[in-house]
A and B are shown apart, each in its own frame.
Chain A
Amino acid sequence: MNARARFVAVVVACALVLGGAVSYGALAFAAYRHAQEGPSDVAAQHAADASSGASAPRIVFRDTAPGQDYGHVASVPLTDPRATRTVTPLVCDRVYATERYESCLQTVPGVVTTYSATVFDESGDVVKKWGLPGLPSRTRISHDDALVAFTSFVTGAAYATVGFSTATDVYSLATGHDYGNIEQFTLRIDGKINTAADRNIWGITFVPGDDDAFFATAATGGHTYLVRGSLAQRTLTEVHETAECPSVSPDGTRVAFKVNISKTGTAFWNVAVMDLATGQITMMPDKRDMDDQVEWLDDSTILYGLPHAGTPGDYDVWETAADGSGSPSLLIEHAWSPAVITQ
């Protein structure tokens, strides 16, 4: 073969290879559209905008049923969580809601993927929006609507990853004050100020009826700690070791968190509830691996998400008694990131 013939042969071969890949992509796209336009795996009614149906006590969550509603924010009545869900047009990776506000962490797909945190008010208008430095993780709004917190990982493309890092910001919806990344707060572990640069803070929960106090996870040197924070004093103080993603009960007496019970490098989490007055810890009966921030249904019941077996990206919300009695039961199928609005 002469050079010209070779060149033509390579161009033809490359066109065939690329054509094959593009055809595969087109078929995948067609299949995706088909599934998108197909009905959701669960019955649902659709709300015209994010705010509709926002008056009754309800559980707001991220719909993870495969189909057209995947990723949308949905809700069910608190009085009947197994009733038909109402799906809104809003799409979030992680959501939290109170009567007045909704905090939505999103992956914004595009030619370049970015991540954002947005707080919406009850009429669906944007109150404030932030860019996030990586994949969304956790968000919470205080029950008196004064504060919002959100956590994301600090991960860019492969170039910019130097291990595990998180960023957690707190913002006052009441005063407009931005507390910024609370990693800058003074951290005290075992009574000593910790200045290690590998410290990470994530998973904030606000103490009900207190505009200054919150709990969060602090991690440094391979250990995790439940810390109590003060916004005014800009401090984080260790309360307990080996605890992540805390969640304070509505009456403020207990805090639920996940405990890494794995003895290997791969984490395996179970849920525990700690009595803040006595320090007594009760492990929950659910022995499955749980990677979520607990939400309290009421003072005696906790909610958390677990992967829906067999479908990656699909989850179910389970409930269990907070005193560790009984056994867990399925509350909302194909749902993730629950937020209870009692009013």
Chain B
Amino acid sequence: MYITLSDRGAASKQSDTARVATRVSSTVVAMGVVSMFTDISSESVAAVLPLYITAAMGMSTIAYGFIDGLYQGVSAVVRIGGGWAADRSDQPKWVAFFGYGISALARIWLLFATGFGAVTSVIAIDRIGKGIRTAPRDALISASSRPDNLGRSFGVHRMLDTIGAAIGPLLAFLILWILPNGYRAIFVLSLAFAVIGVLILGVIVRNGHPAREAGRRPVRRIWSVKDLRLPGMPRLLVATAALGLITVGDGFIYLVLQARSAFAAEWFPLLYVGTNIVFLALAIPLGRWADRVGRGRVFILGHCALFAVYLITTIPVGGVSVTLICLALLGAFYAATDGVLSALTAQLTPPEGTASGIAATQTVTAVARLVASTGFGVLWFTVGREHAIELVAGLAVIAVVASICLLRPMLGVLRREVALPAGLDE
């Protein structure tokens, strides 16, 4: 492992971009592998859940809609707690381990869950585990990377993560193909992958201490909004909220495509696979590009790709090419925003506050997107599909302009670490 205790400090003193690291640390790769196995585990179950609930358990699809909302919504609050615990303890690895462990335990329970209530509880617990682990995981990735290499590191992690998300459903459907009623076999395999992820994390991944390694002291106090008053952070939070508020769920976009094009209707169950393939292919290139031209810039451009999808869906044309272009743009949106946001946050926060900062931006994004999806759902039902998406496209222009103004200081490449506020400096 090439990581040294002084990595952050050393890199921040470098001004020449010629020495930009060309490789990411083994910790980042190991964390990526952990995420990959965990995503195989969770996405294999998620993919067959509608079938399992309706076909094997004999419940209606309406019940599934409820379970799905739960699946997406639970993790926002615990995320803040996970980030705070990681910063306070200066042990992001073990906080993440706790989150991964909870999800693995939920998979054991899934083997014995029979009723609708039991399945919903298992999924809620799994999501709580995901909420806890996300921010500490990203903090450990940023602590194991050089500041000028963050975008690339997160790109590598998100690529591996998305490979897992792509393999999971395929593996699950492969099992159902061989074994038509093989839900239990899928759950057993899902548990195995979850355990493998936890094992690799526990034994292989380095136990980093972001604050101590940077020669700083962990912040030992209860969580406070004041901790986020770092230069640039309020601007970033407002910008992510604005952009998140006009990020409606993929499901709606797939539904519009499905209504427009016979091709999309026929391949509806597979549209997300197309998005994922583009996401994993572009995660590293766009992460590197963000390191070179500025993370704020790529983050905003990523949202522009999403808004291009909205615009395309307002044009009354269907067909294979339109569907494929939309899937490609949607994948590019994820590749340009998901890891890049964590990299952007990490560059604005001191080592002892990175996990809390990442938790804050991710929670703001998740809550804003939830509001957007719910609001868009209401619009969809009241003013109709076409008008709803036109309205969102209009709001998107305002949000992009606003976020360009807000993120002006972050649009370029940061050549040094952000100066630390007086209160946090030792």
Q: Does A14 contact B (CB under 8 A)?
A: yes
Closest to A153 in B: B61
Known contacts A10-B199, A14-B199, A133-B258, A160 near B269 by CB under 8 Å? yes
Taking a contact as CB atoms under 8 Å apart, the answer to whether A109 and B58 are in contact is: no
What chain B residues lie within 8 Å of A161 (beta carbons)?
Answer: 50, 64-65, 68, 251
Which residues on B sit within 8 Å (CB–CB) of A17? 192, 195-196, 199
Q: Does A176 make an interface contact (CB < 8 A)?
A: no
CB proximity of A342 to chain B, nearest CB, Å: 31
A163, B65: Cβ atoms closer than 8 Å: yes
Partner of B269, one of A111, A114, A165: A114
Q: How many residues of B contact A (CB 8 A)?
A: 70
Q: How far is the CB of B248 from chain A (nearest CB, A)?
A: 9
Q: Complex Cα distance A156/B275, Å? A: 14
Given contacts A10-B200, A18-B196, contact A131 B266 (CB under 8 A): yes
Distance from B95 Cβ to chain A, minimum over Cβ atoms (Å): 21
State whether the Cβ of A9 lies closer than 8 Å to any Cβ in chain B. Answer: yes
* Chain B 255-270 residues near chain A, CB threshold 8 A: 255, 258-259, 265-270
Q: Provide the bound-state CA to CA distance between A66 and B308, in Å.
A: 51
- CA of A297 to CA of B268 in the docked complex: distance in angstroms? 36
With A and B bound together, what is the CA distance between A160 and B60 in angstroms?
A: 17
Q: Does A232 contact B (CB under 8 A)?
A: no
| Beta-carbon contact of B184 and A28 below 8 Å | yes
- Categorize the interface residue count of chain A: 35 or more
- Asked if A291 CB lies within 8 Å of chain B CBs, one says yes
Q: Which B residues touch A29, using CB under 8 A?
A: 178-179, 182, 185
User: What are the nearest 7 A-B pairs in CB distance?
Assistant: A131-B266, A21-B192, A162-B251, A133-B268, A159-B272, A156-B269, A158-B46
Binding stretch for chain B, among A52-60, A96-104, A192-200:
A192-200
**Contact among B71, B178, B185, B188 with A158 in the assembled complex (CB-CB below 8 Å):** B71
What B residues does A135 contact at CB under 8 A? 50-51, 54-55, 61
* A window 166-219: CB within 8 A of B: 167, 181, 195-198
Pair B177/A197 contact, Cβ less than 8 Å: no
Residues of A at under 8 Å CB distance from B? Answer: 6-7, 9-10, 13-14, 17-18, 20-22, 24-25, 28-29, 32, 107, 109-115, 130-131, 133-135, 153-165, 167, 181, 195-198, 221, 266-267, 291, 307, 312-313
Q: Are B381 and A198 closer than 8 Å at their CB atoms?
A: yes
**Quick check: A24 and B266 within 8 Å, CB to CB?**
no
Is B102 positioned at the interface, with any CB of A under 8 Å from its CB?
A: no
Q: A17-B196, A158-B46 are in contact. Are A164 and B265 (CB under 8 A)?
A: no
A307 lies within 8 A of B58 (CB) = yes
- Nearest Cβ on chain B to A29's Cβ, whole angstroms: 5
A25 touching B254 by the CB < 8 A rule?
Answer: no
Which residues in B have their C-beta under 8 angstroms from that of A18? 192-193, 196
Contact status A197-B267, CB under 8 Å: no
CA distance A68 to B251 in the complex (A): 37
- Chain A residues near B266 (CB-CB < 8 A): 114, 130-131, 133
What residues of A have a CB within 8 angstroms of the CB of B271 in the complex?
156, 160
Are A291's CB and B204's CB within 8 A? no
B424 at interface, CB cutoff 8 A: no
Chain B residue numbers with a CB within 8 Å of A307 are 58
Alpha-carbon distance between A163 and B381 when the two chains are bound, in angstroms: 12
Which residues 31-57 of B sit at the A interface, judged by CB distance below 8 A? 43, 46-47, 49-51, 54-57
B109 within 8 A of A: no
Which B350-389 residues have a C-beta within 8 angstroms of A? Answer: 373, 377, 380-385, 388
Q: Nearest-CB distance from A71 to chain B (Å)?
A: 8
Give the nearest-CB partner of A10 in chain B: B203
Residues of B within 8 A of A113 (CB): 51, 173, 176-177, 269
Q: Can you list 14 A-B contacts with CB-CB less than 8 angstroms, sorted by A residue number?
A: A14-B196, A29-B182, A109-B177, A112-B170, A112-B273, A113-B173, A133-B266, A133-B268, A159-B251, A160-B255, A164-B61, A196-B381, A197-B381, A266-B63
User: Which single residue of chain A is at the shortest CB-CB distance from B376?
Assistant: A162
* Complex-state Cα separation, A165 to B62, whole angstroms: 9
Q: Please report the C-alpha to C-alpha distance between residue A197 and residue B192 in the assembled complex, in whole angstroms.
A: 43
